[in-house]
A and B are shown apart, each in its own frame.
Chain A
């Protein structure tokens, strides 16, 4: 693994989160009907930060939930390692809400598909809008994000590594090359 570039640094991440929060509020005309749902693991921290920003801007605090889409994955039989499941923590009703689904990296779209299925089992939202920090391309499903922090075109032997202070030692987004 070789780090090829630091694409977003700490200040950059703050600005991106601020912009995403503004875009979400603009599209939804405020925060009255929205709820935020972060996809474990880094989507959760991203969602918390966007929530904090929304509170700062709008004064209102939308509900925040954490989604674990592991049980809805399509690769149980093909993966070598068994994925670890954790708890979905959405204690409010999402029916008729505008759900902002938040994740760190959009890649094949398979996790998003699993997350959408998981959300549909919890209720019938008015809309689901998808917010990602990085869109790296290479979609395998017809899925696109509504709010994008940064588009980073990548090759298949590259990887995007999002680091967040909540679990990593810094705030940053790296482009990494995998040697094989």
Chain B
């Protein structure tokens, strides 16, 4: 409870904040001799506005304690009845006003701090289409979404997660399109989160993930407002986390990772072609190296004669078995990739140079690896970058398939493939089968699968994901 005596309040707050230096407690008398206490955190407040629109009118005009709302020039003002609540407001960046003689405090949102401005996404790049991306600040992100979907049915629901960090988390959806069961499920899962810290959306993802032990993510994330708008217009729910530029969406199905916002900004036939390229890349990046080893070691009869002769010629001087050769190559490829990602940008060129020269050229010339293996591994590596969302799966599965192919031949490859397929079939994301629309098969959703239909013809919202029986208007 808030005491009527502001000196008491002052003492409690000071104690709660452990006399932290950036806590400002400003006490003054107003025109009507009312004693007022302003409490805020120094770094979070727009001081100019505080002086101009709060302190000045209060000193000049405030006569009675009950006039406060009419005398100051702040729109976001809120009555507070407990000390704990006021402390929460203070750490959120509000100015809390305690007035002597009443047991109510007022919190005014005057938050202002430095934030990154909206810029082009560096992760998800497009040639055509909106280029802006989310930033770390949740208010800016909300505004970006509101500007995309100007509709009163667009709903933001606020949560506070993280016992220590008190991070603002917000779910966004469109009433009438969202599937209510999924919405309830998501809220239930969010309310169950008990954690100290939420520093990024991925923290929340791990808590609400359907299969946390699997390599597959059942939560999608994007940095682009247009992508998010597209997702929530299909009935998905976005999860925005303050401090993170990536926004998560649920439910997520397999094919979302193979789609690209630009699919919808290009001509349908061209997009369909690119989709095929992406599907191919997915299989190439996972299976190519393993299949090559399987065929080269077990199924010599499958290789055309001329090619076999070439392969034999190249492998002639290589000292290692091809399984080991592939594993070494993959290992070095992953090291170079990781180095390239983590290195400061100005030394990044060195990595490329050394990586390209040492692995590519010198290793072949020294006869440590065959040229074919370099080609195969780099082809698989390039294919991986076509579908960045699948990076986590690809890297691990590729190594698994290399070992399977090297030990059991194509039999191992196909057994592994079947097992992975069964695994994917068993996964659901918020009740939606992960391999939808292949299994279960859905004719309408297939219009936006391997081939993208014209937007005019795609007038069904995806089954399971959106509110049943809702139709797009086209």
Q: Note whether A and B form a binding pair.
A: no
Give B residues with C-beta under 8 Å from A: none
Give A residues with C-beta under 8 Å from B: none
